[in-house]
Amino acid sequence: MTFLDYAPAPESRAVLNLRSDYGLFIDGEWRAGNGTPFQTISPATEEHIATIATASETDVDAAVAAARRAHTKVWSRMSGSDRGKYLFRIARLVQERARELAVAESLDNGKPIKESRDVDVPLVAAWFFYYAGWADKLDHAGLGANPASLGVAAQVIPWNFPLLMLAWKIAPALAAGNTVVLKPAETTPLTALLFAEIVQQADLPPGVVNIITGAGDTGAALVAHPDVDKVAFTGSTAVGRAIAKQVAGTPKKLTLELGGKAANIVFDDAPIDQAVEGIVNGIFFNQGHVCCAGSRLLVQESIHDEVVDRLKDRLSTLRLGDPLDKNTDIGAINSREQLERIRELSDIGVQEGAERWQADCAIPENGFWYAPTIFTNVSTSHRIARDEIFGPVLSVLTFRTPAEAIAKANNTPYGLSAGIWSDKGSRILAVADKLRAGVVWANTFNRFDPASPFGGYKESGYGREGGRHGLAAYLAPQGTRKAVAPPAGRPTDSGSLENATRPKRQGSPAAIKGAAK
Amino acid sequence: MTRLAVPKTYKLYIGGKFPRSESGRVYEIVSAKGAFLANAAQASRKDARDAVVAARAAVSGWSGQTSYNRGQVLYRIAELLEGRRAQFIAEIVDAEGVTTAVATTQVDTAIDRWVWYAGWADKYAQVAGNGNPVAGPYFNISVPEPTGVVAIIAPQDSSLLGLVSAVAPALVAGNTVVVVASEKLPLSAISLSEVLATSDVPGGVVNILTGSPAEIAPWLASHADVNALDLVGAGDLEWIDLQISAADTLKRVLQPENGPDAAAPSLGRITAFTETKTVWHTKGLI
């Protein structure tokens, strides 16, 4: 045992009180799903955790109908201050059950407990606390007096930050007076189901929050449901495209938070120690399962060797293993499917001529794992410099001038995030101006806050989550969403945008399948 | 002895120049009473692509101007339009068959709309952006930036006001525009391009195509170098197909509007074609 070895320090699972089977949470109560149930497993051990219901189209109908009733009869009529109090309750309940939620998240997702405990769950509580305070202040959201809620929000979230993405979706929707039907990702349904228990403990009126589980078909049915007013999706760009096509021609409002291939730009005057930590955080946080991950390192040519050497030294100290161990830095890859994709793209990197280096760490026998990986000699045309890998794989490119760095950073159809490392303030501001990305971190990376808007340019999607902008995504100015000849059997509290032409026909149903991310 | 009039040749407006359609096609524009007015250029797919190239090339210059400068340039359009009121009024009376009073109202409203939007150029970012009180030692600010190239199908029942109402807000933030004018009423759009060409608006910032929106719009909706699509005047087209096509590159899309209030002036029309950028910077220990 060297001084860098640690004895195992696993977080206790005794705090969990899981059921063997979970149903759907619709209209304030648990009910069986009509689809074929599926298993959720721990990606670190492949052991079974629980059996999860699959919502069929009938179940989706029931959930949307419950949300519609709750919106019409209760939630949209409730005072903002009361809606806010419910959200404050939820924030407090999340804080009270924080340890349990963190353990469940690490168990089901595979992320290190220190991340779920110190990042995910505290941010979940912060998100509800932040938006709780907005509920009775909607007049100040930037849409004029008395903005209206949209109605029923269909929300489909990915597996990389299961509970945090739930909070990003549900907190602003409820504060603005909408009701929601949320579908967590197939591989990570557990914390959303625990959240349903919190909703019950908070005594939220039935139907305001509905949680339905299932695979891509369930998500597709939810998004396509004609009685949905708002669609919010976080996941892959391919699925985002399919949803945008599905929603075309309807009055549904749409927010998409999709993929990324962020450039992390390191200038030669950067504080190197901090930059190395920032690069590691940028791409190895959450095993690189981060849409805004700094997956392309753009380092100024003169310091390339020094930065890469230091990175390799630092990665050699990272501990890969049991997500529930408090000393673990790198957890498990979320699924076999994702591991295959990472392996495939990484191998293509080698085939295309880039040089692969992997940290020398022991890989556990069971479960899905991928050692931290760095590619050097990468050119902009390589797949590993263009495609989102969504894993612990960093591609290193070089530049000589700021103009070249900017050109390379923007040379992607994505535009979610970027990083800049330099000690020169004027250069940081000038480069930040030129980057086509929705979030720019300067001398830091992967920071999130409920007060701070997050979202992409170009094919990283549209709309913002977080801050006042994230609230506005669930509101419409007074009078702009009036009842216009709703489809048969539909209550009349929402409808087309004012002046909007009635669609000639419904958008052709698109297959919205595949794993969300 | 009466003087023989000198009629104008109406062409396209692309990259600050006035080319004919590369296809060599024209179509006949007649007055409300059926009299021949002009042969307008009938833009092709290639013309639309040329316009997108010109618009893309103009993005960095136009968005890189100061907001104060963009405001002045937009105001300058109003100044020059004011000086040519009589020309536009006469053109609209001929084309739409309306009274002089109605045509005057349309022209005056269009001028005032330029003035209104000009004033927004150095203010909208203050209203649409904000500083964010994050829980940590970070400076954090959100600002709106232009989306890029915006393709617009102009309202089809208006010569000038509809076009101005759709184009002006897109320009405020620093976007560049490719606009397909009203098919039946395209002449004022081309006359407006003469105003734009002499108003300090850099070439390529506004590109105006005349012809068939049904023919041109699909190429703009699917073009990978177009960032946003304003379908305000596309209500009679197969616009859902256009929106589906635009989804392939995740364009920002505004759906069609009808009636005299189409593209009514609003801050929302400016921010619809902006992207919120949030910049974090570490605060050091002192």
Q: How far is CA A313 from CA A276, A321, A359, in A?
A: 10, 19, 9
| Model confidence band, residue A6 (pLDDT cutoffs 50, 70, 90) | confident
Q: Residue A31 half-sphere exposure, CB side, CA atoms within 13 Å?
A: 18
For residue A415, the chain B residues in CB contact (below 8 A) are 275
If residue B109 lies in a helix (H) or strand (E), which one and from where to where? helix B100-120
Q: Judge whether A439 is closer than 8 Å to chain B, CB to CB.
A: yes
Residue whose C-alpha is closest to residue A419's, from A312, A260, A287, A211 = A260
Examine residue B3 and state whether it is found in any structural domain, yes or no.
no
Greatest C-alpha distance within chain B = 88
Tell me the average pLDDT across B19-39.
Answer: 96
- Sorted by sequence, the CB contacts under 8 Å of residue B90 that are 6+ apart come out as B103
- The one-character DSSP state at A215 is S
Instruction: Tell the burial category of A391 from Cβ atoms under 10 Å away from its Cβ (0-12, 13-18, 19+).
Output: buried
Angle formed by the axes of helices B100-120 and B161-172, nearest 10°: 0
- Sorted by sequence, the CB contacts under 8 Å of residue A427 that are 6+ apart come out as A267, A402
Average pLDDT over chain A reads 93
Query: What is the rounded distance in angstroms from the CA atom of residue B238 to the CA atom of residue B229?
Result: 14
Q: Judge whether A479 is closer than 8 Å to chain B, CB to CB.
A: no
Q: Which of B240, B257, B266, B274 to mutate to test the interface with A (most CBs of A within 10 A)?
A: B240
The pair phi, psi for residue A236, each rounded to 5°, is -75, 155
Task: Say yes or no for a CB contact (<8 Å) between A499 and B279.
Answer: no
CA of A438 vs chain B CAs: smallest distance (Å):
4
Single-letter code of the amino acid located at A202: A
Task: Say yes or no for a CB contact (<8 Å) between B282 and A126.
Answer: no
Q: Judge whether A458 is closer than 8 Å to chain B, CB to CB.
A: yes
Q: Judge whether A244 is closer than 8 Å to chain B, CB to CB.
A: yes
* pLDDT score at B138: 97
The lowest-confidence range among A413-422, A477-486, B7-16, B122-131 is A477-486
Give A185-209 pLDDT, tens digit per residue: 999 999 999 999 999 999 999 999 9
Query: What is the rounded distance in angstroms from the CA atom of residue A293 to the CA atom of residue B59?
Result: 28
* pLDDT score at B284: 82
For residue A425, pLDDT beyond 70? yes
For residue A501, pLDDT beyond 50? no
CA of B275 vs chain A CAs: smallest distance (Å):
6
Task: Say yes or no for a CB contact (<8 Å) between A499 and B258.
Answer: yes
Instruction: Tell the burial category of A208 from Cβ atoms under 10 Å away from its Cβ (0-12, 13-18, 19+).
Output: buried
Give A438-453 pLDDT, tens digit per residue: 999 999 999 999 999 9
For residue B157, pLDDT beyond 80? yes
For residue B264, the chain A residues in CB contact (below 8 A) are 499
Q: Judge whether A451 is closer than 8 Å to chain B, CB to CB.
A: yes
Contact (CB, 8 A) for A153 and A229: yes
Terminal alpha carbon distance of chain B: 88
Query: What is the rounded distance in angstroms from the CA atom of residue B110 to the CA atom of residue B241?
Result: 31
- The one-character DSSP state at A386 is H
* pLDDT score at B260: 82
For residue A454, the chain B residues in CB contact (below 8 A) are 278
User: 110-169 in B: which are within 8 Å (CB) of A?
Assistant: 127-128, 130, 132-136, 138, 140, 142, 147
- The one-character DSSP state at A325 is B
DSSP bridge partners of A148: A476
The pair phi, psi for residue A44, each rounded to 5°, is -80, -25
Q: Which of A256, A441, A455 sits opposite B280 (nearest CB)?
A: A441
Q: Judge whether B191 is closer than 8 Å to chain A, CB to CB.
A: no
Tell me the average pLDDT across A80-105.
Answer: 98
DSSP A402-448: HHHHHHHHH-SS--SEEEEE-S-HHHHHHHHHH---SEEEES--S--
Q: Which of A438, A468, A508 sits opposite B275 (nearest CB)?
A: A438
CA of A356 vs chain B CAs: smallest distance (Å):
32
* pLDDT score at B237: 97
Query: What is the rounded distance in angstroms from the CA atom of residue B229 to the CA atom of residue B256?
Result: 11
Examine residue B1 and state whether it is found in any structural domain, yes or no.
no
Q: Which of B227, B248, B259 sits opposite A241 (nearest CB)?
A: B248
Neighbours of A81 (CB within 10 A): 10
For residue A497, the chain B residues in CB contact (below 8 A) are 255
CA of A252 vs chain B CAs: smallest distance (Å):
11
Task: Say yes or no for a CB contact (<8 Å) between A241 and B247.
Answer: yes
Task: Say yes or no for a CB contact (<8 Å) between B244 and A249.
Answer: yes
Q: Which of A411, A454, A457 to mutate to test the interface with B (most CBs of B within 10 A)?
A: A457
- In order of their start, the domains of chain A are 23-258+458-476 (3.40.605.10), 263-442 (3.40.309.10)
Average pLDDT over chain B reads 97
For residue A484, pLDDT beyond 80? no
| Plot region of B276 (φ>0 → left; ψ -120 to 50 → alpha; else → beta) | beta
Query: What is the rounded distance in angstroms from the CA atom of residue A409 to the CA atom of residue A300?
Result: 13
Neighbours of A146 (CB within 10 A): 10
Task: Say yes or no for a CB contact (<8 Å) between A237 and B250.
Answer: yes
Query: What is the rounded distance in angstroms from the CA atom of residue A324 to the CA atom of residue A321?
Result: 9
Query: What is the rounded distance in angstroms from the CA atom of residue A394 to the CA atom of residue A345?
Result: 12
Contact (CB, 8 A) for A212 and A218: yes
For residue A19, pLDDT beyond 90? yes
CA of B95 vs chain A CAs: smallest distance (Å):
26
* pLDDT score at B1: 73
For residue A248, pLDDT beyond 60? yes
For residue A491, pLDDT beyond 90? no
What CATH number should be reported for the domain holding residue B118? Answer: 3.40.605.10
User: How far does CA A279 lie from the centroid of its chain?
Assistant: 20
How many residues can be counted in chain B?
286
Residue whose C-alpha is closest to residue A234's, from A254, A251, A213 = A254
For residue B135, the chain A residues in CB contact (below 8 A) are 126, 449, 451
For residue B235, the chain A residues in CB contact (below 8 A) are 501
Contact (CB, 8 A) for A63 and A55: yes
If residue B210 lies in a helix (H) or strand (E), which one and from where to where? none
- The one-character DSSP state at A369 is -
For residue A485, pLDDT beyond 90? no
Single-letter code of the amino acid located at A388: E
Sign of CA dihedral A154, A157, A161, A163: positive
User: 108-167 in A: which are within 8 Å (CB) of B?
Assistant: 126, 142
Q: Which domain holds residue B73?
A: 26-282
Q: Which of B273, B279, B282, B283 to mutate to test the interface with A (most CBs of A within 10 A)?
A: B279
For residue B276, the chain A residues in CB contact (below 8 A) are 438, 453, 455, 464, 469
Contact (CB, 8 A) for B225 and B52: yes
Examine residue B6 and state whether it is found in any structural domain, yes or no.
no
Contact (CB, 8 A) for A430 and A444: no
Examine residue B9 and state whether it is found in any structural domain, yes or no.
no
Query: What is the rounded distance in angstroms from the CA atom of residue A471 to the CA atom of residue A468?
Result: 5
| Model confidence band, residue A492 (pLDDT cutoffs 50, 70, 90) | very low
H runs (alpha helix) in A13-120: 57-70, 80-96, 98-109, 113-115
Task: Say yes or no for a CB contact (<8 Å) between A504 and B240.
Answer: yes
* pLDDT score at B261: 86
Q: Judge whether A469 is closer than 8 Å to chain B, CB to CB.
A: yes
Examine residue B137 and state whether it is found in any structural domain, yes or no.
yes
Give B93-126 pLDDT, tens digit per residue: 999 999 999 999 999 999 999 999 999 999 999 9
* pLDDT score at A515: 38
CA of A494 vs chain B CAs: smallest distance (Å):
17
Query: What is the rounded distance in angstroms from the CA atom of residue A367 to the CA atom of residue A334?
Result: 9
Examine residue B19 and state whether it is found in any structural domain, yes or no.
no
For residue B39, pLDDT beyond 60? yes
* pLDDT score at A496: 34
For residue B246, the chain A residues in CB contact (below 8 A) are 244, 248
For residue A509, pLDDT beyond 70? no
* pLDDT score at A488: 39
Query: What is the rounded distance in angstroms from the CA atom of residue B157 to the CA atom of residue B166?
Result: 13
| Model confidence band, residue A493 (pLDDT cutoffs 50, 70, 90) | very low
Residue of B nearest to A454 (CA): B278
User: 414-433 in A: which are within 8 Å (CB) of B?
Assistant: 415, 428, 432
Q: Judge whether A467 is closer than 8 Å to chain B, CB to CB.
A: yes
CA of B16 vs chain A CAs: smallest distance (Å):
25
User: Into how many domains does chain B fold?
Assistant: 1
Task: Say yes or no for a CB contact (<8 Å) between B281 and A443.
Answer: yes
Contact (CB, 8 A) for B252 and B147: yes
Give B131-144 pLDDT, tens digit per residue: 999 999 999 999 99
Tell me the average pLDDT across A90-107.
Answer: 98
Q: Token match 């009636």: residue?
A: B259
Catalytic residues of A: 257, 291
A/B interface, count of CB pairs below 8 Å: 126
* pLDDT score at A481: 66
User: How far does CA A190 lie from the centroid of its chain?
Assistant: 15
For residue B253, the chain A residues in CB contact (below 8 A) are 248
Give A114-132 pLDDT, tens digit per residue: 999 999 999 999 999 999 9
Task: Say yes or no for a CB contact (<8 Å) between A249 and B135.
Answer: no
Q: Which of A458, A501, A505, A506 to mutate to test the interface with B (most CBs of B within 10 A)?
A: A501
* pLDDT score at A401: 98
- Sorted by sequence, the CB contacts under 8 Å of residue A5 that are 6+ apart come out as none
Contact (CB, 8 A) for A420 and A441: yes
DSSP bridge partners of A396: A297
Task: Say yes or no for a CB contact (<8 Å) between B140 and A240.
Answer: no
Residue whose C-alpha is closest to residue B279's, from A412, A418, A168, A255 = A418
